[in-house]
């Protein structure tokens, strides 16, 4: 692989376009991924924010759930924001019935933990491994992480709650760096993809 990794954005539902732009600004080639054949071509994947229950249903419907699990197990780097974080959890608290996840991080995530749409907020968040000061965290009906297993590293907290976690090649944030124009979290992920390819 060249120094410019090819990174997919899971494009079943959610804020796909913003991630494509953020990844391109962080020196990756980015493209939407909807089908297993497209997933097979990328070096890494972003799972966007949106609605995790809908995304989960569509992933099953499009035959993507198993291929996603297989590639994550095989070590493909993945980054999930908000609903994407929920998709990467091994366990969700108060899931909708039948809601499945891809998994990848040994963590328990609480959906809508910070409140509903009208309780969305922004906050400066210090993220371990990211230099240059805190990132602006945009939280929209955001989850938080209730607990993590021994393998998972907590890289950010807000208000006493875990809001960013990394486990080997898998990264997850409760907030949406793709909405801010500050692409340092995407740059960190692009570096993770470069490191394994
Ligand atoms: N609350 C949404 C969910 O459960 C996530 C919201 C978001 O991605 N901004 O999927």
| Span 91-114, average pLDDT | 92
Ligand 1 atom closest to 52 (CA): 10
Q: Where are the domains of the chain?
A: 6-196
Residue 100 CA to ligand 1 centre (angstroms): 14
Write down the H helix ranges in 47-183.
52-61, 65-73, 83-87
Residue whose CB lies within 8 A of the most ligand 1 atoms, among 14, 82, 96, for a mutation test: 82
12-69 residue pLDDT tens: 999 999 999 999 999 999 999 999 999 999 999 999 999 999 999 999 999 999 999 9
Residue 140 is labelled as binding a ligand: yes
Are the C-beta atoms of 32 and 14 separated by less than 8 Å? Answer: no
Residue whose CB lies within 8 A of the most ligand 1 atoms, among 93, 111, 118, 143, for a mutation test: 143
Instruction: Indicate the average pLDDT of the chain.
Output: 95
Write down the H helix ranges in 45-196.
52-61, 65-73, 83-87, 184-196
CATH architecture of 6-196: 3-Layer(aba) Sandwich (3.40)
The catalytic residues are 82, 176, 178
């Amino acid at each position: 692989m060249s120094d410019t990794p090819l990174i997919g954005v899971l494009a079943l539902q959610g804020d796909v376009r913003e991630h494509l732009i953020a990844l391109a600004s962080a020196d990756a080639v980015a493209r939407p991924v909807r089908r297993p054949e497209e997933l097979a071509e990328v070096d890494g994947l972003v799972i966007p924010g949106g609605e995790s229950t809908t995304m989960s249903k569509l992933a099953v419907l499009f035959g993507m759930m198993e291929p996603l699990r297989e590639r994550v197990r095989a070590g493909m780097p993945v980054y999930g924001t908000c609903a994407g974080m929920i998709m990467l959890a091994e366990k969700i608290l108060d899931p909708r019935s039948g809601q499945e996840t891809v998994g990848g991080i040994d963590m328990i995530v609480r959906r809508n933990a910070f409140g509903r749409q009208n309780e969305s907020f922004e906050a400066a968040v210090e993220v371990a491994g990211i230099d240059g000061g805190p990132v602006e965290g945009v939280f929209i009906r955001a989850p938080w992480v209730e607990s993590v297993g021994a393998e998972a590293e907590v890289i950010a907290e807000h208000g006493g709650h875990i809001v960013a976690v990394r486990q080997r090649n898998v990264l997850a944030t409760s907030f949406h760096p793709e909405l801010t124009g500050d692409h340092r979290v995407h740059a960190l992920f692009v570096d993770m993809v470069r490191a394994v390819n």
